Amino acid sequence: MPSKLMIPKRFRLNLHSRKIDDLYGAIVAQSRRAAFYIGYGVPDTIEGRFDLIVLHVVLLLARLDRGGRPHAISARTCSIFFAAISTPISGKWA
């Protein structure tokens, strides 16, 4: 425990934030599944991928709300999403 106190807070790993980043990564990975493009006819375009990511984010937010999860998780997920779509097309959402 003393070693934790020696590391300033801004340099410590934020495991909660890392898990939310991983959660967003899972959303992107799920939205890239071929079944959506082949089986459901979603166009394999920037717009089609964007629509699937939005769908998965909305479903996650609804689930978190129903499950009584902290709103900080929803807020951080939205922040990651908005940061990702604010980057150029080569960003991590496409």
- How many whole angstroms separate alpha carbon 42 and alpha carbon 79? 25
| Per-residue pLDDT reduced to its tens digit, 46-94 | 899 999 999 999 998 898 888 776 778 888 888 888 888 887 655 554 4
With cut-offs at 50, 70 and 90, classify the pLDDT of residue 32: very high
Between residues 57 and 18, which one has the greater pLDDT?
57
- Overall pTM surpassing 0.85 (yes/no): no
Per-residue pLDDT, 68: 75
What residue ranges do the domains of the chain occupy?
Answer: 13-85
Two structure tokens written together for 33: 């599944």
- How many whole angstroms separate alpha carbon 63 and alpha carbon 56? 10
- How many whole angstroms separate alpha carbon 77 and alpha carbon 23? 8
Q: Which residues of 78-87 are buried (b: 16+ CB within 10 A; e: fewer)?
A: eebbeeeeee
